[in-house]
């Protein structure tokens, strides 16, 4: 009993046309997928690629701090010029031996080589404008055989505002004339003044002046000078 099973529903077999249609449909789907993939690949291939190279600069090393100068060297913010001194022949040959001053700096032959800027010293700096001290001793007028004498001294520049207002005045300056006949820039000292506007023109006039150097025992020396620069108002 029950040796033969009965199908609930009989399977229908596909016809030849159905098989062909199914194969064609699958072919179209596969072809479309291939074309779509190919289009995407061509789009990616045609897309420009940024080939810019960026180099990262390494951080700069911090320079080491400058070494401090040796203790036996004095660093000046305004060094004297590099050059030479001129020898002024004496008008009168001395008959007495000059006194010995142990505080005077020793003679340096390198300061008289004729190389560099006239009025400078061998240990100076190129382009320096500081005071030159070949002989550190400074003399007063009463101590000298021949005090310094002005050779060329321009009139001071009158401040226009004070000149138009008819205001006159004066400036009392103290400065040092070096052995070349020029005022040392760092030696100016204002002793008295009637107006602040007169100070700069007074210093400017002295800085442009030329002097015959002071002499002691026939040798040119530095001299301390006190001078009054007067500004006369118009009409006075």
End-to-end CA distance of the chain: 160
**Does residue 79 form part of some domain?**
no
In 3-state terms, what secondary structure has residue 135? Answer: coil
Task: List the CATH number of the domain containing 183.
Answer: 3.30.2420.10
pLDDT score for 74: 41
pLDDT score for 72: 40
**Does residue 54 form part of some domain?**
no
**Does residue 220 form part of some domain?**
yes
Structure tokens at 129: 């404008």
Query: What is the extent of the structural domain holding 211?
Result: 134-236
Residues in the chain: 236
Distance CA 157, CA 198 (A): 9
The count of structural domains within the chain is 1
Structure tokens at 151: 């050779």
pLDDT by position in tens, the chain (length 236): 455 555 555 555 556 777 777 777 777 778 777 766 666 556 656 666 666 766 667 777 777 776 654 444 344 456 777 776 665 555 556 566 555 554 555 556 666 676 777 767 776 777 777 666 555 578 888 888 899 999 999 999 999 999 988 999 999 999 999 988 999 888 899 999 999 999 999 999 999 999 999 998 888 888 999 999 999 987 66
Residue 60 host element (H or E): none
Distance CA 201, CA 153 (A): 13
How far from 128 is each of 70, 134, 163, 188, 207, CA to CA, in Å? 21, 15, 35, 18, 16
């Amino acid at each position: 009993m029950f040796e033969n099973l009965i199908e609930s529903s009989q399977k229908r077999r596909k016809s030849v046309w159905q098989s062909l249609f199914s194969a064609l449909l699958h072919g179209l789907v596969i072809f479309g997928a291939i074309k779509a993939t190919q289009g995407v690949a061509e789009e990616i291939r045609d897309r420009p690629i940024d080939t810019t190279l960026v180099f990262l600069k390494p951080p700069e090393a911090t320079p080491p701090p400058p070494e401090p100068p040796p203790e036996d060297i004095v660093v000046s913010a305004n060094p004297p010029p590099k050059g030479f001194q001129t020898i002024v022949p004496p008008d009168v040959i001395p008959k007495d031996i000059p006194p010995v001053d142990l505080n005077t700096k020793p003679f340096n032959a390198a300061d008289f080589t004729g190389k560099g800027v006239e009025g400078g010293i061998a240990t100076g700096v190129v382009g320096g404008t500081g005071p030159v001290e070949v002989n550190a001793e400074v003399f007063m007028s009463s101590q000298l055989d021949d005090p310094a004498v002005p050779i060329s001294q321009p009139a001071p520049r009158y401040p226009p505002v004070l000149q138009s207002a008819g205001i006159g005045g004066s400036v009392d300056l103290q400065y040092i004339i070096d052995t070349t006949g020029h005022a040392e820039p760092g030696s100016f000292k204002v002793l008295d003044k009637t107006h602040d506007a007169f100070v700069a023109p007074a210093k400017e006039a002295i800085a442009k002046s030329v002097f015959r150097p002071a002499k002691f025992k026939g040798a040119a020396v530095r001299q301390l000078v006190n001078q009054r620069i007067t500004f006369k108002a118009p009409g006075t």
